[in-house]
Amino acid sequence: MPQNRPEQPATGAAAPPVRRMRREERREQILAAATKAFTRSGGFNTTSLDDVAAEAGVTKMILYRHFASKTELYQAVIDRAAERLYASATAEGDLGEESVPGMMRWAGEDPDGFRLLFRHAAREPGFRVDIDRLRANMVEMLRPHMATESESPAWVDWAANLGTTVAIEGIMAWLDAGQPDSDRARHRILRAVDGVSQALRV
């Protein structure tokens, strides 16, 4: 009779099965990675899909399963960042006293997203219209706050535009400085925006 062969010792545990990402999870991963790649490489023209794929840890083939072109991907990245900025600015209602803290919280969590919108996309002819629209919405929401200080439509328009610029540039400068003391930064940016409002009283 044939002898039973001794059992061989296991050389290692079987690798656990790798869970494939659902399509929406993969898309979100790509968008987050693309935000970093586009921002850190200097914007649309200076960033390749190879850069995005490397940041996301995927192949270009996978990128093309979700986005037909670099333009489509960049547009999706802008839309995602703009939606998150708007949500943070209006978390407590209309744009007003609580909007700057909300915007700062989001910018602190996703500095690449904030920079992408206002440092890169805002200067790129093919995408600037999206940022102009976003900024116009912010101006419109700030207008009622400024209107409490003046009855002149022209000066209210001036203040709403300037106040929006002060908020955006104040947050950008805070990010560039390394996000020091967020509470103090929030207070100082709010005072700067309020200073525009007070200027209408002169």
Query: Taking 60 as the threshold, does the pLDDT of residue 4 lie above it?
Result: no
Residue-wise pLDDT tens digits, 98-143? 788 899 999 999 999 999 999 999 999 999 999 999 999 889 888 9
The per-residue pLDDT for 19 is: 54
Model-wide pTM > 0.95: no
Residue-wise pLDDT tens digits, 52-106? 999 999 999 999 999 999 999 999 999 999 999 988 888 766 555 578 889 999 9
Query: Taking 50 as the threshold, does the pLDDT of residue 9 lie above it?
Result: no
The per-residue pLDDT for 22 is: 86
What value does the mean pLDDT take over residues 39-64? 97
Structure tokens at 88: 């943070």
- Average pLDDT of the residues of the chain: 89
Domain edges within the chain: 23-199
CB proximity list for 64: less than 8 A, separation 6 or greater: none
Query: What are the b/e assignments for 15-42, b being 16+ CB within 10 Å?
Result: eeeeeeeeeeebbebbbbbbbbbbbebe
Kindly report the length of the chain: 202
- For domain 23-199, the CATH class is mainly alpha
What value does the mean pLDDT take over residues 19-29? 84
The per-residue pLDDT for 18 is: 45
